[in-house]
């Protein structure tokens, strides 16, 4: 009898059976084939049905371009700022709503030009032979398709379909939506190219391009979209600032029409260049306007001085007056110019202060330098204020919500407060200068009053005239400088590489990637399902499951039978199945040798966890291999609750072990011979009301003693231990207990039940037989050396074993129907 010291009863912790998982995965190869086929088909449909996506790029640089006319001798000073913070600002401007609204409006990209392909509608901007010039102040059909078909060189057919008596229309002058009254059904009307179209739902002119080409008989479609939606789409333009060269920006768009993207990128940059140049010229324009206004006033003063001089000269001898020596003229002229310059500074500061406190638009402020103010703080802050005011005005283009101006307003308010402080500081210094100059002038005027009255009057008029002339000459010089500066200004934005379609640019759908993804998903989807099945699998699938769950030895693996009855060994003694039972017989002989008295009959009990695991099948065939070795063998059916061992031997179950145990029959009367030599059978007999009590009684001991005296090998076919306790009572009469486990049937938790019974000593000298093993990857590892077979079926079977071919599907179905009839 096996000693418990011969093996460990410690439970083996579960671990992932990678080999079993691979073999089980391979068994579902049809799933993988179907999944790969479906995913590949889907990828093919995506590739042919989805419109191709392209990417177009343009490269610009942002670099401060100094005006070549800014020299140390230039009296006008303009502060544009540097490029340190300009690159990010321009990158943001390209994404701004105001900028993209201008570009979309100029290019009229709210109109789609389309043609119908087999699987999708394709954007054919730049490829159609015509353009439509819409009247933005009137209604255009919104979001619906208009068909245009050219019937001849000068006429086209306009068609659309209306489902109801009203159709949505859009007015691009204010981007508002409305409904227009139409006639339900199909609309179709012929128009002449260049003829104004005036309909409740369409207003504009269709003009042919100069290079229209062959267009007669071809059909196109147009669609008017919501302006704001189109702008939002183009606000997604990519603006990548180069990490190494921070002044370089790459602009990029993705879409289905390369010509449209190229046109948009280039037009967007051109508009940004013009806007940037306008910003740089803003100071010069404001300065020229300011000077022109001043010159107009000075011209009036000069005319008045000259008129006064003519009136004074009338009747007087100017030669005598002019010949009088005037030592104060040059000094007085110099001081008058200084006082006028200081006065203009104060006037500019007063005007600037008034602007800051009363106005909200500062875009028209002249440069401080035009008034002679060279304070760098005032110059820089006025520059920033003009820039912010201009940007705010640009932002208001088609923007309806005041909250979008809050950032600009807060920045401008902060600048205004700083400028007011700058003005107060500068005014204090300038007031002091004015007092000094006025004091000097007063001193000279005291001396002038000592001259003759005519000389004083003449000197007064001459001072006015000379001052006006000097100031006019000064302003004219500054005006010329401002014009030169404006003409010589360069935009800080430069096109390095305009967007251009040079072929390529395809980014999707990537046919190769789609097919790779199809293969990946086609493999992973069934793999995931197999993985779920594998982890949810609760049945014993292979020998590794048994050895992993228990330390009780496995002495045999039994394959599937291919006979109609359970007498597989007798009917096909040379089959691989028969050899597996012979291998079990050899293992049992080794176990029996460990008995103290080998002369006694050997008893063997077969049990299992539940019904249906093959106890009866294994009992019959193990008894058969003992009988074929000419050993007197007896099968005792002790499953008193559910008798089975009689049909295969074509005997009846009228009398059996129950009759002996209740004292009705003798051993000879309940023993029935079979057609297999050396093999007898004692069936269970009638089902008793108290099977457990019969097995526990003294008559059972007498029964075992009596049969041991007559037979060499005795096989007890018992009930499952997982359902009733009968087998536990019979284990005391068994030299060896064989526990039957069936592939894909016995539950793994039943192994734990077996381990617990063995630990408690309820079962002794136990070994396991793995029954119903199928040589398929789905269920296990195949026949192998070491578990009762001796050799694999492929090698050993050729020449020694009968070839057993599994029945086909129809044979199994019709065979089962025939047996049930």
pLDDT in tens, 333-356: 777 777 777 887 888 888 888 878
Rg (the chain; Cα; Å): 55
pLDDT score, position 796: 36
pLDDT exceeds 70 at position 386: yes
Residue with the bigger pLDDT between 404 and 106: it is 106
Which sequence spans correspond to the domains of the chain? Answer: 1-50+509-537, 93-262, 275-497, 546-811
pLDDT exceeds 60 at position 402: no
pLDDT score, position 774: 77
Mean pLDDT score, 540-558: 84
Summarised one tens digit per residue, pLDDT across range 12-43 is: 445 666 776 787 788 788 999 999 999 999 99
**Contacting residues for 588 by C-beta, under 8 A, at least 6 apart:** 555, 602, 604, 622, 736
Report angle CA 150, 151, 152 to the nearest 5 degrees. Answer: 95
Summarised one tens digit per residue, pLDDT across range 524-545 is: 999 988 888 777 777 777 888 8
**Contacting residues for 451 by C-beta, under 8 A, at least 6 apart:** 324, 326, 459
Q: What is the DSSP letter of 194?
A: T
What percentage of the chain reaches a pLDDT higher than 90? 24
pLDDT score, position 797: 42
Mean pLDDT score, 195-205: 94
**Contacting residues for 28 by C-beta, under 8 A, at least 6 apart:** 526, 529, 530, 778
Summarised one tens digit per residue, pLDDT across range 457-515 is: 767 777 677 777 777 777 777 777 777 777 777 778 888 899 998 888 888 777 888 88
Cβ atoms of 581 and 625 closer than 8 Å = yes
pLDDT score, position 780: 42
pLDDT score, position 299: 77
Mean pLDDT score, 752-781: 75
Cβ atoms of 108 and 225 closer than 8 Å = no
**Contacting residues for 519 by C-beta, under 8 A, at least 6 apart:** 36, 39, 40
The confidence band for 403, taking pLDDT boundaries of 50, 70 and 90, is: low
* CATH code, residues 546-811: 3.40.50.300
pLDDT exceeds 80 at position 604: yes
Summarised one tens digit per residue, pLDDT across range 262-275 is: 999 999 999 998 88
pLDDT exceeds 90 at position 11: no
pLDDT score, position 394: 62
The confidence band for 405, taking pLDDT boundaries of 50, 70 and 90, is: low
121-123 sheet: strands from edge to edge: 121-123, 111-116, 219-224, 145-150, 155-162, 185-192
Strands (E), 363-484: none
CA–CA gap between residue 98 and residue 400 (Å, rounded): 12
CA–CA gap between residue 814 and residue 819 (Å, rounded): 9
CA–CA gap between residue 355 and residue 364 (Å, rounded): 10
The confidence band for 226, taking pLDDT boundaries of 50, 70 and 90, is: very high
Mean pLDDT score, 672-682: 90
Mean pLDDT score, 218-228: 94
Residue with the bigger pLDDT between 726 and 44: it is 44
What letters, b where the CB count within 10 A reaches 16 and e where it falls short, cover 35-55?
A: bbeebbeebeeebeeeeeebb
3-state secondary structure of 450: coil
pLDDT score, position 451: 67
Q: What is the DSSP letter of 665?
A: S
The confidence band for 84, taking pLDDT boundaries of 50, 70 and 90, is: very low
Summarised one tens digit per residue, pLDDT across range 610-659 is: 888 888 889 899 989 999 988 899 999 888 888 877 778 888 888 888 88
pLDDT score, position 232: 93
pLDDT score, position 80: 43
Mean pLDDT score, 401-428: 78
pLDDT score, position 17: 66
pLDDT score, position 495: 87
pLDDT score, position 336: 74
Q: What is the DSSP letter of 193?
A: T
pLDDT score, position 70: 47
pLDDT score, position 426: 85
CA–CA gap between residue 349 and residue 344 (Å, rounded): 8
pLDDT score, position 298: 73
The least confident of 281-290, 650-659, 665-674 is 281-290
Summarised one tens digit per residue, pLDDT across range 103-138 is: 999 999 999 999 998 888 999 999 999 999 999 999
pLDDT score, position 450: 66
pLDDT exceeds 70 at position 815: no
Q: Beta strands 166-171 and 140-141: pairing type?
A: antiparallel
pLDDT score, position 561: 80
Mean of the per-residue pLDDT values for the chain? Answer: 79
CA–CA gap between residue 541 and residue 231 (Å, rounded): 64
pLDDT exceeds 50 at position 553: yes
pLDDT score, position 213: 85
For 478, 544, 566, 775, 807, the CA distances from 577, given in Å and listed in that order, are 116, 21, 12, 12, 15
If residue 114 lies in a helix (H) or strand (E), which one and from where to where? strand 111-116
Specify the length of the chain in residues: 821
pLDDT score, position 1: 38
What percentage of the chain reaches a pLDDT higher than 70? 82
Say what the pTM is. 0.55
């Amino acid at each position: 009898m096996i000693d418990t010291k011969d093996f460990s009863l410690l439970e083996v912790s579960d671990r992932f059976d990678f080999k079993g998982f691979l073999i089980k995965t391979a068994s579902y190869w049809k799933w993988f084939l179907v999944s790969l086929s479906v995913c590949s088909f889907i990828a093919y449909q995506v590739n042919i049905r989805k419109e191709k996506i392209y990417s177009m790029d343009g490269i610009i640089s942002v670099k401060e371009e100094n005006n070549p006319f800014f020299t140390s001798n230039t009296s006008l000073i303009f502060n544009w700022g540097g490029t340190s913070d300009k690159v990010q600002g321009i990158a943001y401007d390209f994404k701004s709503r105001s900028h993209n609204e201008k570009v979309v409006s100029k290019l009229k990209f709210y109109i789609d030009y389309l043609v119908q392909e087999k699987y999708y509608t394709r954007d054919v901007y730049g490829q159609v032979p015509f353009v439509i010039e819409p009247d933005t102040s009137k209604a255009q059909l919104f979001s619906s398709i208009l068909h245009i078909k050219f019937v001849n060189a000068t006429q086209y057919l306009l068609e659309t379909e209306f489902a109801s008596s009203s159709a949505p229309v859009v007015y691009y002058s204010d981007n508002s939506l409305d409904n227009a009254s139409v006639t339900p059904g199909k609309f179709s009307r012929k128009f002449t190219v260049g003829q104004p179209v005036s309909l409740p739902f369409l207003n504009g002119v269709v003009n042919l391009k100069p290079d229209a080409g062959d267009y007669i008989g071809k059909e196109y479609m147009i669609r008017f979209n919501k302006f704001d939606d189109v702008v939002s789409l183009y606000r997604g333009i990519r603006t990548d600032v180069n990490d190494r060269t921070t002044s370089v920006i790459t602009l990029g768009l993705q879409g289905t029409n390369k010509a449209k993207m190229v046109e948009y990128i280039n037009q967007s940059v051109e508009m940004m260049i013009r806007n940037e140049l306008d910003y740089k010229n803003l100071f010069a324009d404001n300065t020229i306007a300011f000077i022109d206004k001043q010159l107009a006033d000075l011209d009036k003063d000069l005319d008045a001085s000259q008129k006064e001089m003519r009136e004074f000269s009338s009747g007087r001898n100017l030669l005598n007056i002019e010949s009088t020596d005037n030592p104060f003229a040059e000094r007085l002229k110099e001081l008058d110019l200084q006082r006028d310059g200081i006065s203009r500074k104060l006037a500019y500061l007063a005007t600037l202060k008034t602007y800051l406190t009363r106005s909200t638009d500062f875009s028209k402020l002249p440069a401080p330098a035009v008034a002679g103010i060279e304070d760098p703080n005032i110059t820089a802050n006025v520059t920033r204020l003009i820039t912010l005011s201009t940007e705010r005005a640009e932002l208001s283009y088609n923007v309806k919500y005041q909250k979008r101006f809050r950032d600009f307003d807060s920045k401008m308010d902060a600048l205004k407060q700083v400028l007011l402080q700058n003005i107060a500081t500068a005014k204090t210094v300038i007031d002091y200068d004015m007092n000094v100059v006025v004091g000097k002038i007063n001193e000279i005027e005291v001396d002038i009053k000592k001259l003759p009255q005519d000389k004083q009057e003449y000197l007064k008029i001459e001072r006015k005239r000379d001052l006006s002339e000097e100031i006019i000459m000064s302003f004219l010089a500054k005006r010329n400088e401002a014009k030169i500066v404006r003409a010589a200004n360069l935009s800080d934005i430069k096109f390095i590489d305009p967007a251009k379609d040079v072929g390529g640019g395809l980014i999707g759908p990537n046919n190769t990637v789609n097919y790779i993804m199809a293969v990946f998903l086609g493999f992973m989807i069934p793999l995931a399902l197999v993985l779920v099945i594998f982890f949810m699998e609760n049945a014993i699938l292979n020998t590794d499951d048994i050895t992993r769950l228990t330390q009780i030895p496995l002495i045999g693996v039994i394959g599937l039978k291919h006979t109609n009855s359970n007498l597989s060994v007798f009917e096909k003694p040379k089959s691989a199945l028969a050899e597996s039972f012979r291998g079990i017989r050899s293992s049992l002989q080794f176990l029996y040798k460990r008995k103290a008295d080998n002369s006694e009959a050997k008893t063997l009990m077969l049990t299992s966890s539940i019904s249906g695991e093959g106890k009866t099948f294994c009992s019959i065939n193990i008894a058969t291999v003992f009988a074929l070795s000419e050993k007197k063998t007896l099968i005792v059916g002790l499953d008193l609750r559910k008798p089975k061992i009689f049909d295969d031997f074509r005997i009846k179950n009228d009398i059996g072990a129950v009759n002996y145990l209740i004292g009705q029959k003798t051993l000879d009367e309940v023993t029935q011979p079979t057609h297999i030599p050396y093999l007898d059978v004692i069936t269970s007999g009638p089902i008793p009301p108290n099977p457990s009590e019969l097995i526990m009684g003294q008559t059972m001991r007498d029964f075992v003693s009596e049969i041991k005296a007559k037979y060499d090998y005795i096989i007890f076919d018992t009930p499952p231990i997982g359902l009733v306790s009968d087998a536990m009572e019979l284990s005391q009469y068994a030299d060896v207990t064989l526990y039957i486990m069936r592939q894909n049937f016995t539950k793994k938790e039943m192994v734990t039940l077996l381990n617990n019974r063995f630990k408690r000593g309820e079962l002794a000298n136990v070994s396991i037989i793995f029954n119903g093993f199928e040589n398929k990857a789905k269920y296990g590892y195949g026949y192998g050396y070491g578990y009762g077979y001796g050799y694999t079926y492929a090698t050993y079977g050729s020449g020694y074993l009968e070839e057993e071919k599994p029945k086909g599907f129809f044979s199994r179905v019709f065979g089962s129907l025939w047996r049930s009839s």
